[in-house]
Amino acid sequence: MSNKKKYFGTDGIRNHVGSGMISPDKVLKLGWATGKVIKDHGESTVMIGKDTRRSGYMFESALEAGFIAAGVDVYLLGPMPTPAVAYLTQTFSADAGIVISASHNPHSDNGIKYFSAKGKKITDAIELEVEKAFDEEMVIVDSAKLGKAMRIDDAAGRYIEFCKSTYSAPKNLSGLKVVLDSANGATYHIAPSVFKELGADVVSICDQPDGLNINAGCGATDLALLQQTVLAEKADFGVAFDGDGDRVMFVDHEGSVVDGDYILYILAQHNQADCEGVAGTLMSNLGLEIAIKELGMGFIRTQVGDRYVMQALVENNWLFGAEASGHVLCLDKTSTGDGIVAALQVISILVEKEVSLKEICSGMTKFPQILENVKVVGKVDLLESEKLNQAVAEAERGMAGKGRVLLRVSGTEPLIRVMVEGETLQMIEPVVVKLVNLVKSEFC
């Protein structure tokens, strides 16, 4: 079997609705192929959750039919955050968990994510098995062996109680005013209840999904509305999740953004006595790496993608890792990235130490960083451009160890990401302009 995947990307399968694998007929067969692999491994049950996209209804039905055709029983959770599906897959002793979501992408996209029985992203080997089965002829099991479908009505309540159980400060959230932005996504009916039941004064925004407004001008990828609301409400801080709830971003009482880099620093600083190191990615700010090393801890950079951060943590027996975009792993609490749980770990520290979010971030200074996304058509290979690679090498020599350049092809969108960071904006601005123009001339 080839080790090169045909359908799976860095986080499951994702595309525009109606394109490629994200069409009803393909998703139905994908459900059957996944079901076949589950049965081949001697297993028989799967949980399916989804975010709030309108297309989720269509793909939920298609997946359900595919699994039943393969003889696999299906538990339907309805709209639930991605990490909730991971958690409930474990608590119900299901053999796999499936999430229908395109995460932070607009409603016009959708995707399929997979979890193992242990609530972790499935391995490359299993993805290859699913792809192999997908390319086979679809054979429906005998009618007496068809799977059954059941809807779990108390899923939200179960997950709310789990989230609350991860909060560890000696006092509750009474006296704290918090703005929550649910991105009109899967946390809309979860996050407000968690924070209210822990005692916070909650101002909830972007919690009215209509199937089309998910991530639209809100959530972890667009913090302007959250910043405005925090300032207008004179809140202690704001918390934003993305459409499927596996990302989290904060805004402090002055409206400043506290991203995944800062969150990882806060967790590392608080737990340095018990933690030898933490993991970031190629996109993590140089200021984070310096601050972590000043704490006397190790720091590893992985490829972009929380699955690679997870892999580094497991290999080193470490607990905490994060992407700057807000994927935060707290392996002492959860098996996967969980926006609500990660937020509660940070807030537990604030309450325990009786400090503000702004104060606790003061030990880390981020280097100025500029990230530009350049749209491309089709698949591209950055290594093919000798001009581009020479320009990157020249830029890094010019910054003399006080900055860095990263060019990467997005695993989830048709983009080339151009990232440059350094001591000052004056240093990096001309570098970004030059590289963006060169990417456009080479690949657009």
pLDDT in tens, 157-169: 999 999 999 999 9
Q: Which domain holds residue 49?
A: 13-153
Considering the domain boundaries, does residue 248 fall inside one?
no
The Cα-based distances of 378 to 118, 381, 408 in angstroms read 35, 10, 15
User: Is residue 155 scored above 60 in pLDDT?
Assistant: yes
Does the active-site annotation cover 103? yes
Looking at residue 2, what is its pLDDT?
59
In contact, 79 and 49? CB cutoff 8 Å: yes
Considering the domain boundaries, does residue 250 fall inside one?
no
Looking at residue 377, what is its pLDDT?
80
* Distance in angstroms (rounded) separating the CA atoms of residues 133 and 66: 12
Q: 153, 169, 186: which is the final residue of a domain? A: 153
- Beta bridge partners, 251, equal 238, 257
Give me 239's structure tokens: 């918390």
Q: Which of 179, 186, 248, 243 is nearest to 216 (CA)?
A: 243
User: Is residue 11 scored above 90 in pLDDT?
Assistant: no
Give me 270's structure tokens: 């608080």
In contact, 41 and 113? CB cutoff 8 Å: no
φ/ψ (deg, to 5) at 358: -65, -45
Q: 104, 122, 153: which is the final residue of a domain? A: 153
Considering the domain boundaries, does residue 128 fall inside one?
yes
Considering the domain boundaries, does residue 355 fall inside one?
no
Mean pLDDT value across the chain: 95
Pairing of strands 257-258, 298-302: unpaired
Give me 130's structure tokens: 């699913």
Flag the least confident range among 28-32, 220-224, 353-357, 373-377: 373-377
Q: 153, 185, 202: which is the final residue of a domain? A: 153
Considering the domain boundaries, does residue 86 fall inside one?
yes
SS3 172: coil
Helical H segments across 13-96, by residue range: 24-40, 55-69, 82-91
* Distance in angstroms (rounded) separating the CA atoms of residues 310 and 331: 9
Considering the domain boundaries, does residue 71 fall inside one?
yes
- Beta bridge partners, 180, equal 204, 239
Q: Give the residue with greater pLDDT, 216 vs 412.
A: 216
Q: Which of 55, 101, 103, 284 is catalytic?
A: 103
pLDDT band (50, 70, 90) for residue 401 = confident
pTM (two decimals): 0.90
* Distance in angstroms (rounded) separating the CA atoms of residues 283 and 277: 18
Looking at residue 301, what is its pLDDT?
96
Q: What is the CATH number of the domain that holds 73?
A: 3.40.120.10
Q: Which amino acid is at 410?
A: S
Q: What is the CATH number of the domain that holds 428?
A: 3.30.310.50
Considering the domain boundaries, does residue 96 fall inside one?
yes
Considering the domain boundaries, does residue 423 fall inside one?
yes
Domains held by the chain: number? 2
